[in-house]
Structure 1
Amino acid sequence: MSPASHWHKSSYSGNQTNCVEIGRLADGAAVRDTKNRAAGHLTTTRAQWAAFITAVKTNRFA
C-alpha cells in the first residue's frame, strides 16, 4: 500500500487534540491518533472505508 497523504481531521474537532486523522491512500484510507501520530496508523481498503462511513451515517454504532 502506498504511504498516506493529505492527513486531516474533522472540522467538528476544532482545536482539540483528542481526535483521529484520516489520510488518503491510493486504494483506501488511513486512520491515526492525533495525540500520538508516531504510533503509526491503521489502513483500510476503499470498500472497507465506504462501508464504515455508511455505517456511521446510518447510526449503526449508536
Structure 2
Amino acid sequence: ALNYGAIGTILGHELTHGFDNSGRMYDSDGNLREWWTNNTILEYEGRVKCFIDHYGEYYEKE
C-alpha cells in the first residue's frame, strides 16, 4: 500500500507540471505555444498570489 501511495504522489506531482508557469507554454503535442487565454493567465496569477500570501508567512524554526 505504501508503494501505491508513493507512486500516486509522484504521478500527481508530475501531472501538475502541465498547468504550472512553465508547462502552460506547451500545447498537447508538446509544441511551444501559448494556449491559455489572457483571462486564464490573470486568474492563475491571482490564485498564485493568494497562495503565496497565505503560505508565505510560514517558516521552519531553527
Q: TM-score, normalised by structure 1?
A: 0.35
Give the number of the structure whose residues are more often strand, by fraction. 1
Q: TM-score, normalised by structure 2?
A: 0.35
Give the number of the structure whose residues are more often helix, by fraction. 2
